[in-house]
Structure 1
Amino acid sequence: MRARVGRTWMTVFTLAWLVIWMVQLTPLQLLLPLQLDSQVSDDGDRWVHGVVVSGLILGVGGLVGVIAGPLAGALSDRTDSAGFPGWLGGRRRVWAIGGSLGTAVCLILTGFAHRPLLVGAAWIGVSVGVAVASAAFTALIADQLPADQRGAAGAAIGSSQAAGIVIGVGAVVTLGLTVLAGYLFLAVLIAVVGAGAACLLPDPPDPRETRAALREHDPWRSLRDRDFSWMLAGRLIANIGNALGTSLFLFFLLYGLDQEKSAAEDNLLLLVVVYTIFVVIASIVSGVYSDRTGRRRIPTVVAAMVQAVSGVVICVHPTFAVTMAGAALMGVGYGAFSTVGLAFATDLLPHEEDHGRDLGIVNVAAALGQLIGPMLGAGLVAAVGGFWLLFAMAAVLSVIGGLLTMLARDKSTIAVTDVVSGR
């Protein structure tokens, strides 16, 4: 059994994820929409085109990330650190450092890009860097944490996601940073904090028996595991539902509620703060609950249903006050879903020698959902010339994600079934 880690480990781990989420979601929520809106919609009558271009860029970045994350995880599973300097020892560290520094470089390039095509190319690099670093840091959960601390690690990631948005967007808005300055600010953060955390966190070499098992096994067997596959499907679909409900908020304020640009930016920050508060609360409460009770599946499903309610209320009565309430409900649902869902996913990992790759897939299921959402949402907005279908589909997909998650048995159910069947 793995030994429990201390507060220092959790603090450094949380800081790493705080910065990872900042560099991924601050551009998604604010910098990219502003950058592309200024490049595509200067005449004021092509805002739908701006939404579509933004969604396409984020979607393509997500598709590239879905390959980069699991690939980096699989390579880290097989990394032999014998030839590296001591500070680069272990399987995960070199990938975490490389992903962090690569992300920083591509953020700078994105800031200087002056055409949508160049923005898209640079953002693909950001998506790859984030996917690589995320896969390395996520693998540490399975490598080093006992089962009764995995909910806490999930809470650290979930609350960091929410806090990362509000700190990132808040810094850009309150400091009056330009789009370029915002990208440069994020690049410095990920280079310093991301790479620094990778050096500070322990990263022991893989056991010899694990390395031997890697040499002769079916590389696709994890995806053929029934429970792991249902969990992945639910995680992907529910994250698309979340992204539909949150990623186009700026455009919704500008063109759905007809707010002025300065008011929309201020109100976006207010929405993000409300969302953040409830994500953090739900992440911590659900993480502690799941660690103490060992229950993962049912809380994850309930959280997806709460998330669905937020889309319904905004769709039915699209005002700013109702949108605030919807953001709070979305925060509760997504905070609990992401936190307990990650602990549930870690419990369901089928094969120890594939932890890095499989957690990379788990991570990408969430990240891909967050990046497919804007692309799908842009199509829904363009199809009806408004936002009602966007929030309706956010609710539908959240429900579907919860139902798919329900099909995956939790660890205790699997154990009892295996005993009864004689396995």
Structure 2
Amino acid sequence: MLFLAYASLITIFQGVQNILLPPVVQRLAPDAKVSTMALLITLASVTTVISLFAGGIVSDRTRSRWGRRTPSLVLSWLASVILMPIMGIADSIVLLAVVLPMLWFALNYYQSVLLAALPDRIAKDELGFASAAIGLGAPVGIFCGVNLAAFASNTLAGYILLAVPFTILTWTLVLLEPEASSVDMPVPPRHPMSLTNFLAQFSSVRERNFALALASRFLMFLCYFAVSGYMFYIVQDYIGAENTPFGSAAAGVSILLSVMTVTWLVVTFGSGYFADRIGRTALVVALASFAAAIVTLLPAASASWPIMLAFALGIGLTFGAYFVLDLKLATLVLPTPETAGRDLGILLAAGSAPGVISPAIAASIIEAGGYPALFVFGAAIAALAGVCAIRIRIAR
């Protein structure tokens, strides 16, 4: 059920960012599409960081007959499905700049609460399989999202198509796997609002393994966001839409992400099984990061469709292994179960915080050195992520 709900969430993220939003931005700001897209993604990413942190803290403290996570899950679902049709009819950059951050806040709040259920409800010796199952939701969501959005009759229809599975699978989870009551759970003490107490929320960062996992996740997602955030324009302007099989940038992106999805699916459970067998999750995460760095360099060498297909294949293998095991690694470095939601929210925010800075960084790199320079930057960042991961030490 967690896998299905997570897949429906990723379906929305990928369908909107890769297919539905870029053509609208291009139509409304044809002479400044890259910088405008950067502005919109930056605004959305700011709210993302806040919501991922807030979701964990609020749900940690929630006491209800429906459990800690369920009330927040349902409310964030409701806000999301209300905002999505508004995005579908938005006809100005100003309206997009208001609604997109609100939608991203609701969706990422949902993500934080959903993933907080992993340490809540899954035994530690089953985390590898559970993490792989939830991680499988990412490639499935990518495949469904880009294809539903790419072949929708219009933008509004695309948003509605993405909202339908999200609604069905959220309520499937809530109704078929109800959470136990949290009414009798002790409530963490409240502290007066102060800078000291606020900074105390980040006390887990002082733990070595937690800090290294945080840095690795931040760097790896910086690579991913910097490159994937401009995939539509990379295909259209760097590769050339006319060089894709259907002569369409949207179709080209759909093909690339579908190739990535298939390879991601292949590697998902294999990487989880391998890491469990050798008992070295951090090592496998590091190897996946180094391999991703090599793959990301490929498009810098040649602006051709075959190279982009090879890039998609390699990204599916490397990032697929990384994302599956990164989730397991995140649960293994959590300092205490009492603050699991808060600390997991911090780690999730580290994966979304790059979205705040990556649009501006990527836009400036594209402006200065073109798309090849963007791929070189992504490769360097992925290699640094591997260095951080390989230094994590967890008792076997």
Flag the 1:299–1:200 CA change in 2: closer, same or farther, 3 A: same
> Which of 286, 296, 314 is 1:301 aligned to?
286
In the TM superposition, residue 395 of structure 1 has moved relative to its aligned partner by 0.3
Q: Does 1:388 align with 2:377?
A: no
Q: Which amino acid aligns with 2:110?
A: A
Q: Which amino acid aligns with 1:37?
A: Q
**SS of equivalent residue, structure 1 residue 258:** helix
1:307 touches 1:329 (CA, 8 Å); kept in 2?
Answer: yes
Map 1:391-406; keep pairs closer than 5 Å.
391-406=375-390
Map 1:145-294; keep pairs closer than 5 Å.
145-174=122-151, 176-206=152-182, 211=186, 214=189, 218-260=200-242, 262-294=247-279
Q: Which amino acid aligns with 1:324?
A: L
State the alpha-carbon separation in 1 of the partners of residues 266 and 135 from structure 2.
Answer: 10
State the alpha-carbon separation in 2 of the partners of residues 244 and 328 from structure 1.
Answer: 18
In the TM superposition, residue 332 of structure 1 has moved relative to its aligned partner by 1.0
Give the aligned partner of residue 118 of structure 2: 141
State the alpha-carbon separation in 2 of the partners of residues 214 and 355 from structure 1.
Answer: 16
State the alpha-carbon separation in 1 of the partners of residues 301 and 222 from structure 2.
Answer: 20
State the alpha-carbon separation in 2 of the partners of residues 130 and 21 from structure 1.
Answer: 9
Give the aligned partner of residue 43 of structure 2: 60
In the TM superposition, residue 356 of structure 1 has moved relative to its aligned partner by 0.9
1:312 touches 1:391 (CA, 8 Å); kept in 2?
Answer: yes
State the alpha-carbon separation in 2 of the partners of residues 200 and 94 from structure 1.
Answer: 15
1:104 touches 1:186 (CA, 8 Å); kept in 2?
Answer: no
State the alpha-carbon separation in 1 of the partners of residues 56 and 84 from structure 2.
Answer: 22
Flag the 1:372–1:101 CA change in 2: closer, same or farther, 3 A: farther
* Greater CA drift, 361-370 or 27-36: 361-370
Flag the 1:80–1:213 CA change in 2: closer, same or farther, 3 A: closer
* C-alpha distance after superposition, 1:63-96 (max 9, x if no partner): 1111111111111111111xxxx5xx10000111
* C-alpha distance after superposition, 1:209-237 (max 9, x if no partner): x7365558943321222211110111011
2:19 touches 2:150 (CA, 8 Å); kept in 1?
Answer: no
Q: Which amino acid aligns with 1:368?
A: A
State the alpha-carbon separation in 2 of the partners of residues 212 and 80 from structure 1.
Answer: 8
Q: Does 1:93 align with 2:70?
A: yes
2:259 touches 2:312 (CA, 8 Å); kept in 1?
Answer: yes
In the TM superposition, residue 370 of structure 1 has moved relative to its aligned partner by 5.2
Give the aligned partner of residue 6 of structure 2: 17
Aligned residue pairs: how many?
386
State the alpha-carbon separation in 2 of the partners of residues 162 and 379 from structure 1.
Answer: 29
Q: What RMSD in Å do the two structures reach over aligned CA positions?
A: 2.1
Q: Does 1:356 align with 2:338?
A: no
**SS of equivalent residue, structure 1 residue 136:** helix
Q: Which runs of 5 or more residues in structure 2 are unaligned?
A: 192-196
Give the aligned partner of residue 194 of structure 2: none
Q: Which runs of 5 or more residues in structure 1 are unaligned?
A: 1-11, 413-423
1:275 touches 1:330 (CA, 8 Å); kept in 2?
Answer: yes
State the alpha-carbon separation in 2 of the partners of residues 328 and 262 from structure 1.
Answer: 21
Give the aligned partner of residue 332 of structure 1: 317
Flag the 1:363–1:242 CA change in 2: closer, same or farther, 3 A: same
In the TM superposition, residue 346 of structure 1 has moved relative to its aligned partner by 0.1
Give the aligned partner of residue 76 of structure 1: 59
Flag the 1:104–1:342 CA change in 2: closer, same or farther, 3 A: same
State the alpha-carbon separation in 1 of the partners of residues 235 and 309 from structure 2.
Answer: 12
Q: Which amino acid aligns with 1:151?
A: G
1:96 touches 1:195 (CA, 8 Å); kept in 2?
Answer: no
* Greater CA drift, 157-166 or 338-347: 157-166
State the alpha-carbon separation in 1 of the partners of residues 188 and 280 from structure 2.
Answer: 31
In the TM superposition, residue 257 of structure 1 has moved relative to its aligned partner by 1.8
Flag the 1:352–1:270 CA change in 2: closer, same or farther, 3 A: same
